[in-house]
Amino acid sequence: MPVSTNDLRNGMTLDLEDGLFSVIEFQHVKPGKGGAFVRTKLKNIRTKAVLERTWRADERLEQAVVDKAEMQLLYRDGDQYVFMDNRDFEQLQVDAASLGEASRYLKDGDSAVLLIYKGEVVDVELPAAVELMVTETEPGVQGDRVSGARKPATVETGLVVSVPLFVNVGDKIKVDTRTGEYLTRV
C-alpha cells in the first residue's frame, strides 16, 4: 500500500528494495533554498541493522502491513518451533532461522508476539525479561565472595549467561531479552 513520505510515523513498517524496515525516527526538513525532504532512521526488521535514508517530500513508498499474532510455543520439533495462535488455536510451524535470537529465550509454554508479513514470520516480540532454569554451571566455592565476580551458566534453552557466584544448577534466573544479561535470581 503506497504511502507518502509526509505521512511517515514512528513504528510504521516499510517494504523497501533492501527489505522490511521499521521507522525509528523521522524529520521533515524545509531548507530556505530547494525542496523539502524527509530524513529518516530505519531499522531492518530481520537483521536489526539501523540505517539513515533521506527522501524528497511527498515521495511514495510502499507500506508493509505486518500482522501481529500472540502465540504460545507448544514444543520444538528439530529445527521447527510449533506455535499455537491464542485466538483460534491454529498451529504454526516456524523455522529456528526465522526466530533468530528469540529462540535462545523461548521455552515450551512461553508466549510471544509473532510479526507476520505475507505469511512469513519476520520478527518476534518477547517480554522484556524471561525466567529460565540453570542447567549447567560450576558450583560456587564457599568463601569465594569477591564482589561482582561472575561465572558462566547454561540455561534450559542453551543460552550461556554470566551470573554471580551464588547461582547454582536448578536455580531459576531472570534474563533480559534485549541484552542477554542476568537480572536476578527468582
In order of their start, the domains of the chain are 2-62 (2.30.30.30), 67-125 (2.40.50.140), 129-185 (2.40.50.140)
Q: Is the pLDDT of residue 72 over 90?
A: yes
Rounded mean pLDDT of 152-161?
A: 91
Stated pTM of the model:
0.76
Q: What is the mean pLDDT of the chain?
A: 88
CB 4 within 8 A of CB 60: yes
Which range has the worst mean pLDDT, 18-32, 106-120, 130-144? Answer: 130-144
